[in-house]
């Protein structure tokens, strides 16, 4: 079929001119002839459709009844199973009630209502006469205000309108306090015991075996009257013990741990999710939200993912009773970066 043109510019002499003049186009044959449906010609089919619609509406009535049976019949006790059963029956009731009406009406419309397609003319959105008249009005109105002739009025009005919304912004100032130093400090200070989250039991250095990990909060957090969640959101710590040879502390941080026990902030430096997953074999910490991965053997340096900064380390030591305590607060702000962080 070598004479087939596939319509591409290169392959067809017919194409280059196509679509330009109406002469070469197919003429619109007009609406396709209407085809009668079964129900239009056969009264029995119409009767059948009528019955089907009525049955669907009947299904809806049954659905509504089912809802009431479920609502009053199923007594909620303290088990999830009863709740699920009631939810299922209520839902099925509503679903049948709605689907019965919906499918019934649509079936009615499709099978029995006239299905002749109608053609209607589109009218112009606006006539040229209206446009001219409207333009005239705008010009006249502007002229009558005299705003073009009196720039003093115009300019002072613009100035006033520009300033007037400012109070509407300023009034939101008291939505919250200023950050101040809040993002730079946590509850940790020298001598604060490391206790388990959420029970609050202190941890002895001898309890921490190699390979184990503890979720830690500062002692006294659970007893706070106010701001418990706010303090917890900054102060949570992961405590792990490695073989001391696997740790490679940088100068000045050699004694921030104790016998291979190290404590790092649990708040991801990316956007603040808890870095809750500890891979014991690889000594990696993984944030489940965005998969930032921190290497414990390199002072929690980022080795994968969207975080940029290592997790801050909490310097710890052992008190006279053998419990783990903080040497000080974190030496840098924990959690996500912010402009003033430095």
Partner 1 sequence: MSTATESTYRPATKVGRVTDFVDQRVGGSPILREFGRKVFPDHWSFMFGEVALYTFVILLLTGTFLTFFFDPSMAETTYAGSYVPLKGVDMSVAYSSSLNISFDIRGGLFMRQVHHWSALLFVASVAVHMLRVFFTGAFRKPRELNWVVGGTLVILSLAAGFTGYSLPDDLLSGNGLRIIDGVVKSIPIVGSYISFFLFGGEFPGSAIIGRLYVLHILLIPAIILLMIAIHLFMVVVHKHTQYPGPGRNDGNVVGYPLGPVYAAKAGGFFFIVFGVVALMAAAFTINPIWNYGPYDPSPVSAGTQPDWYIGWVDGALRLMPGWLFGFPLEWHIPLPWGVNTLSLNVLLPALVPAGIVFTVLFAYPWIERWITKDDREHHVLDRPRNAPTRTAIGMAGFTFYCVMWAAASSDLVATHFHVSLNDVTYWLRALFFIGPVIAYAVTKRIALALQRKDREIALHGRETGRIVRLPHGEFIEVHAQVDDYKRYKLVGFESPEPLPEIVNSDGKVTQAEKLRARLSRVFFEDRVAPATPAELEASHAHGDHEIAESENLKEVAH
Task: For the segment 96-155, give every residue that binds partner 1 (CB under 8 A).
Answer: 96-106, 108-110, 113-115, 117-122, 125
∠ CA(89), CA(94), CA(100), 5° rounding? 120
Interacting residues with partner 1 between 154 and 183 (CB under 8 A): 172-173, 175-179, 182-183
Contact pattern from residue 21 through residue 60 relative to partner 1, giving x for each residue in contact according to CB under 8 A and a dash for the rest: ---xxx-xxxxx----------------------------
CB 223 within 8 A of CB 280: no
Span near partner 1 by CB under 8 A; candidates 136-144, 150-158, 222-230, 255-263: 222-230
Minimum CB distance to partner 1, residue 207 (Å): 20
Nearest CA to 259 among 310, 218, 296, 208? 208
Please report whether residue 319 would count as binding partner 1 according to CB under 8 A. no
Reference 327, options 265, 242, 263, 256; nearest CA is 256
Among residues 200, 202, 244, 306, which is the contact residue for partner 1, using CB under 8 A? 306
Q: 159 or 198, CB closer to partner 1?
A: 198
User: Considering only residues 187, 193, 214, 270, which one is a binding residue for partner 1 as defined by CB under 8 A?
Assistant: 270
C-alpha 216 chain-centroid distance: 29
Q: Which one of 205, 284, 305, 323 is in contact with partner 1 (CB under 8 A)?
A: 305
Residue placing its CB nearer to partner 1 in the complex, 45 or 74 = 74
Mark 263-289 as b/e (b = at least 16 C-beta within 10 Å). bbbbbbbbeebbbbebeeeebbbbbeb
Question: Should residue 255 be labelled a site residue for partner 1 when binding is judged by CB under 8 A?
Answer: no
Give CB contacts under 8 A, 24+ apart, made by 252-257. Answer: 253/299, 253/313, 253/315, 255/315, 255/317, 256/313, 256/314, 256/315, 256/316, 256/327, 257/316
Nearer Cβ to partner 1 (73/322): 73
Out of 247, 302, 311, 334, which residue is the one contacting partner 1 (CB under 8 A)? 302
């Amino acid at each position: 079929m070598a004479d087939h043109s596939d319509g591409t510019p290169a392959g067809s002499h017919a194409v280059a001119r196509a679509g330009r003049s109406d002469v070469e186009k197919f003429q619109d044959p007009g609406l396709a002839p209407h085809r009668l449906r079964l129900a239009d010609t056969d009264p029995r089919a119409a009767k059948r459709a009528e019955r089907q619609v009525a049955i669907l509406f009947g299904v809806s009535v049954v659905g509504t009844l089912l809802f009431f049976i479920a609502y009053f019949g199923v007594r909620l006790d303290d088990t999830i199973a009863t709740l699920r059963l009631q939810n299922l029956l209520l839902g099925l009731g509503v679903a049948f009630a709605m689907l019965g009406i919906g499918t019934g009406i649509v079936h009615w419309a499709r099978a029995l209502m006239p299905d002749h397609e109608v053609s209607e003319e589109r009218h112009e959105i606006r006539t040229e006469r209206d446009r001219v008249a409207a333009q005239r009005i705008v010009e006249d109105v502007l002229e009558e205000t005299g705003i073009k002739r009196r720039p003093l009025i115009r300019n002072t009005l613009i100035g006033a309108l520009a300033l007037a919304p400012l109070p509407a912004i300023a009034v939101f100032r008291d939505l919250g306090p200023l950050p101040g130093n809040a993002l730079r400090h946590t509850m940790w200070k020298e001598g604060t015991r490391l206790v388990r989250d959420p029970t609050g039991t202190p941890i002895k250095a001898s309890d921490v075996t190699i390979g184990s990990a503890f979720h830690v909060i500062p002692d006294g957090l659970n007893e706070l009257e106010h701001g418990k969640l706010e303090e917890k959101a900054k102060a949570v710590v992961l405590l792990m013990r490695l073989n001391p040879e696997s740790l490679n502390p940088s100068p000045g941080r050699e004694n921030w741990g104790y016998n291979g026990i190290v404590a790092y902030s649990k708040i991801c430096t990316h956007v603040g999710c808890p870095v809750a997953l500890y891979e014991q074999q690889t000594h990696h910490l993984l944030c489940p939200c965005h998969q930032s991965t921190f290497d414990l053997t390199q002072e929690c340096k980022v080795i994968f993912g969207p975080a940029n900064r290592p997790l801050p380390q909490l310097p710890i030591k052992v008190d006279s009773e053998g419990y783990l305590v903080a040497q000080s607060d974190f030496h840098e702000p924990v959690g996500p970066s912010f402009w003033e962080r430095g």
